[in-house]
């Protein structure tokens, strides 16, 4: 019974980690391997927020070094690459015709941290 409880606690912690690291100072922490510390996120402009690799350090999931997150129509969660191309970060955005994030996604890194941050833009009360 103790092992089952420990596994449950570990699983919940793993699911909540991307959200937890986005709190506090608007930065996502640091990278213990490289010693880099995340630069705080700039303040969002409405439902859009500029982001860069330096804000997420080892949690940065893209092949490009910067872009923007946006919540459009209160439901479509997007990553906008430096070239202006828009990519879906949630199923709703895909269903509404936005392109798959695959071409700019580094498959070795989860989209969880940036997706969580982008979802916060859909709910102004959460920021």
Beta-bridge mates of residue 37:
30
pLDDT of 8 higher than 60: no
Q: What is the mean pLDDT of the chain?
A: 81
Please state the rounded mean pLDDT for residues 70-94: 97
Percent of the chain with pLDDT over 90: 63
Does 119 have pLDDT greater than 50? yes
Kindly indicate the confidence band of residue 102, based on its pLDDT and cuts at 50, 70 and 90.
very high
- The sign of the dihedral angle between the CA atoms of 20, 21, 24, 27 is negative
What is the C-alpha separation between 90 and 65, in angstroms, rounded?
21
Identify the pLDDT of residue 13: 40
pTM of the model: 0.72
- Give the model's pLDDT for residue 21: 41
Query: What pLDDT, on a 0 to 100 scale, did the predictor assign at position 64?
Result: 98
């Amino acid at each position: 019974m103790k092992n089952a409880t420990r596994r449950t606690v570990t699983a919940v912690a793993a699911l909540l980690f991307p959200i937890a690291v986005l709190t506090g100072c608007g930065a996502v922490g640091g990278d213990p391997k490289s010693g880099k510390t995340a630069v705080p996120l700039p303040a969002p402009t409405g439902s859009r927020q500029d982001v860069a690799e330096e804000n997420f350090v080892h949690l940065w999931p893209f092949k490009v070094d910067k872009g923007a997150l946006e919540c459009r129509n209160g439901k479509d969660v997007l990553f906008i690459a430096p070239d202006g191309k828009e990519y879906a970060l949630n199923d709703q955005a895909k269903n509404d015709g936005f392109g798959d994030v695959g071409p700019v996604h580094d498959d070795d890194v989860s989209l969880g941290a940036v997706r969580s941050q982008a979802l916060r833009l859909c709910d102004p009360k959460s920021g």
